[in-house]
Structure 1
Amino acid sequence: MRRRTFLQAGVGAGIAATAGCLGVFETRAAGIPPIPENRPDAVYVPSHEEGMAMAGMGTAGDYRFGLMYSFAHRFWNVNGDSVEKTGTESAGQDAVHLMTAVWDPETGLSLPETGMSVDVERDGEVVTQETIYPMLSQVMGFHYGANFELDGDGVYDVTVSVGGMSTRKTGGFEERFTDPASATIEFDYSRQRKDGLSFQVRDDAGEPGALEANTTMMDADSMAPTPADLPGRVVGQGKSNDAVLVTTALDTPPEGVEGDGQYLAVSARTPYNGLVVPAMGLTATVERGSERVFDGELVRTFDPDLGYHYGAAMDGVESGDDVTLSVTTQPQTARHEGYETAFGGLMGGMPDVTFTAE
């Protein structure tokens, strides 16, 4: 049984940058541009945009899985307050970035916090088997990904496995996504097809903004509901290091939430594309004049109508109340280029969001 090296990240700065061909499609052989200089402490347009291709899909239990691939590339891993670029100086010719998504086949909603591992086999022999990173990218939104070195052209059996969703589940999701499951997807890899994927150097690299999202390639919806589509009464919103926190109050908590009264829910999303920002620690205080009517944790929760959000039962929010949202832990997800300086990220810190409830 062979076990090959799992590449902890993508191609580093040792590869020459493309020069003089900004804003046009190039081949991957032209090289990866450097990280933009003077990038903002916020979401920004990355140095380049890579094409990706579908490898296949599978279904097991409550879950639908998808597997995609692209060029191996750099990304930033997050562990607590630590944010580090994960990269090697070079990658082999058959290095790929494998991306997996898992979603509810009934609603299409992407499932964060399942835990994901990937086993890659060829002709019955193990090529690699690893737990891979939860990630945010401007194109795919939330997914799981890492770089792998394959053994050249051929058919691989890729088994994707989840251990069940650790997030609190409410409403129609209360009894679902609790059991582990796995699906094996056949991946017919060709270096020529991989090298033929598009590769665009951006002439607006480093500017505030984002690549256009394309979250429908695997039917996995990682978009947060628009404020107009959120249930309840939207009472306010604000930004914390470019994470947009939209707060709504429901008359009663969803099934699966302990407590009475209203339900305060915060839906966190990226600017520009409105993609879900999961895996934060978040608290809220609600003050009415000199009285503090709520002060506590907003629990990570997954609901068919609210989507992935942070919520708690409370006495109620009235118009004119002062609301403060405090991020206690930045999102514990790796980031593709363009997100590493936002949502805490390399620059650190997510300021409180304060507003007067509408």
Structure 2
Amino acid sequence: MYRRTFLATSALGATALAGCGSIESRSIDVPTVVSERPAGSYVPGHIEGMARVGSVTAGPYELVVTYSYPHRFWMVTGTDTERVPLEEADSTHLMATVRDRETGLVVPEVGLSMAITREGSLASQETIYAMLSQTMGLHHGANFSGLEDGREYDLAVTVGTPTVRLTGAFRDRFTDPVTETLSYSFDERAMAELRLDRLNRAGERGALEPMGGAVAGARAPEQATVSGRTATTRAGDVRYLVALRDESPPGIDSGPYLAVIPHTRYNRIRLSRMGLSARFTTGGGPIETQLTRTFDPELGYHYGTALSADPAGESISLLAETPPQVARHEGYETAFFDLPTASVQL
């Protein structure tokens, strides 16, 4: 179902690539994986467009559901990756982005599932995975099969509660799982009109620009907007925004608070589900502490800890012990592994 035909007939189609590549004027299958992939973020072999199914309010959440062509993607377990191939029966790739209604921040580390029914009968169901995409941002997604062209379906989305530490007003906001249902019309003609462009820069180091609105609420803030003593550093394709504040967020032990926001080198998309620790020296000697994955109304998703002493003037080393445990779209499946230690001084 994912075979598509393209014809580059207009300057508009070429301009839409913004210098990233070119459309091939012939019938093609989804392009093969780039043969020589660098050990890091790279330009994939193609761009796939997406379109909106709809959005709905569900308790404290805003859910936005989109669709695209079926995707191959890579699951990550520890430091191992496993490619999930395209199957001939795949109908579409459905994605859901979960945001907090009040702040607009993408809510991290929630269990999410989708069930597609028609006239009360189950047509397709998946537990969908947290995913990272250069163009589609941080979302949950999976390929779904068994859908019939031209049929109307009910799409039920269930969102669990966050599994990270919650601080401030978030402590009492995300207390119960919620389920909401959207109407979904599976239309192969509409899907065939989605953008699917081959790129002549495939395999180059870098990343594609996100589609409009895809990374809203998922970007790391600019350093100048974060309070406290701040600094930035980089390790491979990960950038770290580091802040040392006099006080911890509400709900955490009092004292100086170290907050670290890892994000992608390109496009500043926050990186979740990492194992991250910090090492530094104070007057009491060397300290190494695990940073806790935390969701805060002001800092957003970050890794943080309360400190017993202020490491003012000392070098802080950041150690990525576990790479982001999120599935990857093409171009990110080789990135964020084997990261070197990064250092910063506040």
User: Normalised by the size of structure 2, how large is the TM-score?
Assistant: 0.90
Structure-2 separation of matches of 1:171 and 1:26: 51
Give the equivalent residue in structure 2 for 1:201.
198
Q: What is the Cα deviation at residue 143 of structure 1?
A: 0.4
Q: In 1, Cα distance between the equivalents of 2:4 and 2:185?
A: 30
Following superposition, the deviation at residue 26 of structure 1 comes to 5.5
**Superimposed CA distance per residue, residues 193-228 of structure 1 (whole angstroms, 9 cap, x where no aligned partner):** 0011111111111111111113625x8521111222
- Looking at structure 2, the residues matched to 316 and 276 of structure 1 have their Cα atoms a distance apart, in angstroms, of 28
Distance 1:322 1:206 in 2: 36
Amino acid at match of 1:62: P
The answer to whether the 8 A contact 1:235-1:249 is kept is no
Matches within 5 A, 1:1-358: 23-25=21-23, 29-88=27-86, 90-92=87-89, 95-149=91-145, 150-214=147-211, 216=213, 220-239=216-235, 241-257=236-252, 259-288=253-282, 291-292=285-286, 294-344=287-337, 349-355=338-344, 357-358=345-346
Aligned equivalents of 2:149, 2:232: Cα separation in 1: 53
Secondary structure in structure 2 of the residue aligned to 1:110: coil
TM-superposed deviation, 1:16 = 11
- Percent of matched pairs sharing the same residue: 41
| Runs (5+) with no aligned partner, structure 2 | 9-13, 15-19
CA shift for structure 1 position 315: 2.9
- Tell whether the 8 Å contact from 2:108 to 2:162 is kept in structure 1 after alignment: yes
Q: Per-residue CA shift, 1:117-147, capped at 9, x if unaligned?
A: 1101112110122211110001122100010
Please give the alpha-carbon distance, in whole angstroms, between the structure 2 residues aligned to 1:34 and 1:188: 29
Amino acid aligned to 1:162: V
Rounded to whole Å, the distance in 2 between the matches of 1:37 and 1:112 is: 33
CA distance in 1, matches of 2:308, 2:234: 22
Partner letter of residue 54 of structure 1? R
Q: What is the alpha-carbon distance in structure 2 between the residues aligned to residue 159 and residue 337 of structure 1?
A: 27
SS class of match (1:193) = helix
Gaps of 5+ in 1: 1-9
| Closer, same or farther: CA 124–17 of 1 in aligned 2, 3 Å | closer
Secondary structure of residue in 2 paired with 1:120: strand
Q: For residues 295-338 of structure 1, what are the alpha-carbon distances to aligned partners after superposition, in whole Å with 9 as ceiling and x for unaligned? A: 21100000111110000000344443021111222111000001
**8 Å Cα contact 1:265/1:311 also seen in 2:** yes
Count of matched residue positions in the alignment of Structure 1 and Structure 2: 334
- Structure 1 window deviating more from structure 2 (220-229 vs 62-71): it is 220-229
Q: Distance in 1 between matches of 2:67 and 2:5?
A: 22
1:3 is aligned to none
Q: 1:52-78 deviations in whole A, cap 9, x for unaligned?
A: 000011111111111100000111011
Hey, what's the Cα distance between the residues in 1 that align with 2:168 and 2:283? 34
- Normalising by the residue count of structure 1, what TM-score does the alignment of the two structures yield? 0.87
Q: One-letter code of the match for 1:232? A: G
For the Cα contact (< 8 Å) 1:282–1:326, is it kept in 2?
yes
C-alpha distance after superposition, 1:216-248 (max 9, x if no partner)? 25x852111122222221144222x41112211
- Structure-1 separation of matches of 2:105 and 2:320: 24
Which residue of the partner structure matches residue 11 of structure 2? none
Across the aligned residues of Structure 1 and Structure 2, the Cα RMSD in angstroms comes to: 2.5
Question: Distance between the aligned counterparts of 1:242 and 1:123, measured in 2?
Answer: 47
